[in-house]
Structure 1
Amino acid sequence: MAVTSMKALLESGVHFGHRTNKWDPHMKPYIFTERNGIHIIDLQQTVKLLNQAYAVVRNTVANGGIVLFVGTKRQAQETIAEEATRCGMPYVNERWMGGMLTNWSTISQRVQQLERLERMIETGELSHLTKKESLLIQREIARLRTRLSGIRSMKRLPDLLFVIDVGREDGAVHEARLLNIPIVALVDTNCDPRGVDYVIPSNDDAIRAIKLLVGKIADAVLEGKAMRKDDGLDESEEVSQKVAVPARKSVRIIDDDEEIEDEALLGTATLAKLSRPSPMDEEIEEEEIEDEELPEQVVEQFLNEAAIEAKDNDDESEEE
């Protein structure tokens, strides 16, 4: 059974792509047609690939894995925080800090610094400081909270990355690829899907579309946690257990020179993680999805709306 219906996707505007002059040719297999200068995404593929991504996330979490939610664009920030919190997973909805994955040891030290400063404030250890010094520390705490609040509970590198808008989050995608962390992402018609392991072709600008799809991924996490409890996996065993990560599907080609140069940038903890034996690949059995046929007049109605909406988010993105 499909995770969501095609009608729900249509009503949320998932099918609206960008203007045809902004498309990425590598998204051609996921495009259904073009209406009045707007690309229309093939929702039959969206339903199928969403179902596949749902299974990947569910099985990763069921095996004790961590899914990091990433979405820093204005339309996604609130939804990312709400849904990640609802399913108990870490998230990044402010600016992506370079090295958040590849230099995780330093980032974790920053989290510890934040916790230490907060304890000092609570215990009154900073009462002897001058007003200026106290103000500077308060500002530092506020800055660290803004950037690190979503990952404070993350004690190790994630096993899966869920991204909204791979074009905007290219830094997160690049670091995940270096560390061989699988990526699930909402990919619009103006983005390159080649660096993504599990593509979900979708409008990544409309708030309703983002809420629908991020909510489904959060549901997959909750279902995976329920399976984990049924299997009797204790929370304390979760960190130490080797996680079975789903097999990668996309082929990535990285020059040897590039690998050497990038590895030189990695921290000690990250290199230690890379030296571990590769986790056992887990095959995800794709559930058979019956092609859902909607009445022609319904499809025509939603397609014609593309001309009316005209993808105003393109202009908003340019202004940002």
Structure 2
Amino acid sequence: MPVMGKIEDFKIDMDEMMKAGVHIGHSISKLHPKMKDFILGIRNTSHIIDLKKTSQYLIEALKFIQEIIKNGGTLLLIGTKPPFKTLIKEIAEECNLPWVNERWLGGTFTNFGTILKRIKYFKELTRQKETDEFEKYTKKEKIKKEKELEELKIKFEGIKNIEKFPEAVFICDIIKDKLCLKEAKMKGIKTIAIVHTNTDPTLVDYPIPANDDAYLAVKYILEKIKEAILSIKKK
């Protein structure tokens, strides 16, 4: 996990990170041994994350993301915790990225062919709905189709334009979305993720030591990802 780059390259502000609560860790009893190098100290009964290291690792992740975008690749954003669902979708749509903000479907990567077939069916149902083809069904059939479409939309709306594996995934919480992390690693998809003090950072290719529970902390990191991507797309 090389660490290079200057903080000013991406306008990383440690005061802003502190205000957002990026540095606040879990209680000391929950510390994962492999997170020790990222700990600055203890406040009350909680660990404090070293924001200098957060800055360094965030920069490394942002550089990697920019390389993906430069080369025409895809970054998939994953955030299924209720407080972050809307945020993930908004950031993804602003950057024209795919996203998942509902429960990760087992097999999304490991049974990719089946997922693509379901996406194709979802898009066909959407087309039928938009062209009033649902009107040819009986009332009972129409209600059934509309319910099915709504369920498929929840599952596939964010990844409906994916045709191949993304080059990388960004995961807000690797405990909540451990299945996504596992499947990505199995398929050789690079992983970028926030790693809180209770997680194993060695499971992630580009770990970002930070608070994965606080809305403002997660928003700060996602906003930096957005800025990094949009700066490349504007060139």
Output the CA distance in 2 between the equivalents of 1:122 and 1:149.
15
How big is the shift at 1:130?
2.5
The one-letter code sitting in structure 1 at the alignment partner of 2:146 is Q
CA contact (8 A) 1:79 1:210 kept: no
Show the 5 A alignment for 1:1-320: 1-2=6-7, 3=10, 4-227=12-235
Q: Secondary structure at the match of 2:133?
A: coil
Q: What are the Cα deviations for residues 169-190 of structure 1, in whole angstroms up to 9, with x where unaligned? A: 1011001101111111111011
How big is the shift at 1:115?
1.4
How big is the shift at 1:24?
1.3
The one-letter code sitting in structure 2 at the alignment partner of 1:31 is I
Output the CA distance in 2 between the equivalents of 1:44 and 1:65.
29
How big is the shift at 1:28?
0.9
CA contact (8 A) 2:165 2:189 kept: no
How big is the shift at 1:124?
3.3
Output the CA distance in 2 between the equivalents of 1:93 and 1:100.
14
CA contact (8 A) 2:98 2:162 kept: yes
Output the CA distance in 2 between the equivalents of 1:161 and 1:128.
41
CA contact (8 A) 1:57 1:224 kept: no
**Cα RMSD (Å) of the superposition?**
1.3
Q: What are the Cα deviations for residues 17-42 of structure 1, in whole angstroms up to 9, with x where unaligned? A: 01112221111111111121101001
Q: Secondary structure at the match of 2:134?
A: coil
Output the CA distance in 2 between the equivalents of 1:225 and 1:121.
33
How big is the shift at 1:153?
1.9
Partner of 2:3: none
Output the CA distance in 1 between the equivalents of 2:116 and 2:72.
20
How big is the shift at 1:133?
1.7
CA contact (8 A) 1:160 1:182 kept: yes
TM-score by length of 2: 0.92
Aligned length: 227
Q: Secondary structure at the match of 1:138?
A: helix
List alignment gaps of at least 5 residues for structure 1: 228-320
CA contact (8 A) 1:167 1:191 kept: yes
Bigger radius of gyration:
1
The one-letter code sitting in structure 2 at the alignment partner of 1:170 is K
Q: Secondary structure at the match of 2:170?
A: strand
